């Protein structure tokens, strides 16, 4: 069983440079920092409530992560879900015939891990991890939501349920943007399946150009968005004023991915209309 998001991973050119944002400006705590020679990467985990942000930097040129960075630049790489029994999950996935990158678990930064092939998840690279005993643990809310762009919503909803055991609990139509948002809870974080409701909608156009998959962003709930915006601006980051977001009764403002080494940081305050 999958019970929450463990981490999202961002591929960066230099972890040391990226930490100047994630650790020094966002104020996150590094919980692990290791070079995994067999995979040719350095990985760092930063805690955010029950979730973590993983930074990965290739240390050799002959790796999949190095090619990903060369092709796509610094951006979101995968979403990792936590389980307490990875072997049971893998037995279930293999029995279902889900196309996997790893059919057996191996050691990774987050514990015993395995990757599902993105073909099986509508373009999303999914990692499943069973953390080691004594790993960082928190019951505080971490991410508010992540966004996944899907071309065929009905098919994607079925895949998320069958493959990960995670179900849509709420569908929100946003007519002004010709899009639908389907919320899939994983722990205290919502994964939003976002789809166009008309062929000419901006989301449908984006998918036609770039394909389905993760949107390189994470949303974080804040209590006082104006104070947060002022704090990031004082640190030299550009952010628009808070404005009404797509979710009901909420305002948002985003630090763009090009300022953060690949991950748009959307701040969201609920209970405020504008
Ligand atoms: Co990972």
- Cα of 127 to ligand 1 centre, how many Å? 6
User: What CATH number has the domain spanning 2-130?
Assistant: 3.10.180.10
- Cα of 6 to ligand 1 centre, how many Å? 8
80: tokens are 């990792």
Measure the CA–CA gap between 31 and 43, rounded to whole angstroms: 11
Residue 150, pLDDT score: 97
Place of tokens 């990158």: 101
Question: Quick check: helix, strand or coil at residue 263?
Answer: coil
Burial class of residue 134, CB neighbours in 10 A (0-12, 13-18, 19+): exposed
- Cα of 54 to ligand 1 centre, how many Å? 6
**Which tens digit of pLDDT belongs to each residue from 195-207?**
999 999 999 999 9
- Cα of 126 to ligand 1 centre, how many Å? 9
Measure the CA–CA gap between 44 and 149, rounded to whole angstroms: 27
Q: Are 124 and 99 in contact (CB under 8 A)?
A: no
Measure the CA–CA gap between 240 and 255, rounded to whole angstroms: 8
Positive or negative torsion for Cα 57, 99, 180, 142: negative
Q: DSSP letters along 219-262, please?
A: EEE-S-HHHHHHHHHHTT---PPPEE-SSTTEEEEEE-GGGTTS
- Cα of 234 to ligand 1 centre, how many Å? 32
The residues pairing with 36 across neighbouring beta strands, listed in sequence order, are 41
The residues pairing with 191 across neighbouring beta strands, listed in sequence order, are 146, 184
Closest to 173 (Cα-Cα) out of 157, 197, 200: 197
How many Cβ atoms sit within 10 Å of the Cβ of residue 212?
A: 18
Residues with Cβ within 8 Å of 93's Cβ and at least 6 positions away in sequence, in order, are 100, 116, 163
Name the pTM for this structure.
0.96
**Which tens digit of pLDDT belongs to each residue from 223-269?**
999 999 999 999 999 999 999 988 889 999 999 999 999 999 999 99
Question: Quick check: helix, strand or coil at residue 202?
Answer: helix
Closest to 60 (Cα-Cα) out of 76, 38, 80, 45: 38
Domain 145-270, what architecture?
Roll (3.10)
Alpha-carbon separation of residue 99 from 108, 114, 119, 162 (angstroms): 20, 12, 7, 13
Q: Taking the domains of the chain in order of start, what are their residue ranges?
A: 2-130, 145-270
- Cα of 226 to ligand 1 centre, how many Å? 32
Residue percentage of the chain with pLDDT more than 70: 100
Task: Assess whether the region 2-130 and the region 145-270 belong to the same CATH fold.
Answer: yes
Residues with Cβ within 8 Å of 90's Cβ and at least 6 positions away in sequence, in order, are 100, 102, 103, 104, 105, 114, 128
**Which tens digit of pLDDT belongs to each residue from 35-66?**
999 889 999 999 999 999 999 999 999 999 99
Measure the CA–CA gap between 200 and 138, rounded to whole angstroms: 43
Closest to 272 (Cα-Cα) out of 204, 226, 212: 226
**Which tens digit of pLDDT belongs to each residue from 206-226?**
999 989 999 999 999 999 999
**Which tens digit of pLDDT belongs to each residue from 113-153?**
999 999 999 999 999 999 998 888 899 999 999 999 999 99
- Cα of 114 to ligand 1 centre, how many Å? 9
Place of tokens 């040129």: 61
- Cα of 15 to ligand 1 centre, how many Å? 15
């Amino acid at each position: 069983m999958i019970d929450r998001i463990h981490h999202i991973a961002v591929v960066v050119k230099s972890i040391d440079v990226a930490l100047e944002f994630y650790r020094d400006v966002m104020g996150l705590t590094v919980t692990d920092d290791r070079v995994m020679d067999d995979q040719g990467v350095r990985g760092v985990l930063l805690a955010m409530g029950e979730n973590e942000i993983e930074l990965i930097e290739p240390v050799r040129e002959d790796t999949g992560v190095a090619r990903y960075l060369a092709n796509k630049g610094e951006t979101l790489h995968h979403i990792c879900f936590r389980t307490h029994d990875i072997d049971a999950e893998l037995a279930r996935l293999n029995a279902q015939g889900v196309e996997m990158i790893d059919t057996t678990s191996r050691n990774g930064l987050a514990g015993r891990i395995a990757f599902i092939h993105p073909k099986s998840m509508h373009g999303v690279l999914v990692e499943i991890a069973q953390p080691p005993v004594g790993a960082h643990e928190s019951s505080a809310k971490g991410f508010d939501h992540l966004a996944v762009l899907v071309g065929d919503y009905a098919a994607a909803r079925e895949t998320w349920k069958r493959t990960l055991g995670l179900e849509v609990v709420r569908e929100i139509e946003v007519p002004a943007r010709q899009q639908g948002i389907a919320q899939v809870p994983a722990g205290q974080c919502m994964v939003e399946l976002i789809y166009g409701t008309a062929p000419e909608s901006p989301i449908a156009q984006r998918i036609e150009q770039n394909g389905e998959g993760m949107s390189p962003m994470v949303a974080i709930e804040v209590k006082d968005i104006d104070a947060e915006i002022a704090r990031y601006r004082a640190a030299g980051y550009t952010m628009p004023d808070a404005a009404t977001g797509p979710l009901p009764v909420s305002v948002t403002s985003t630090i763009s991915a090009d300022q953060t080494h690949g991950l748009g940081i959307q701040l969201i305050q609920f209970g405020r209309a504008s």
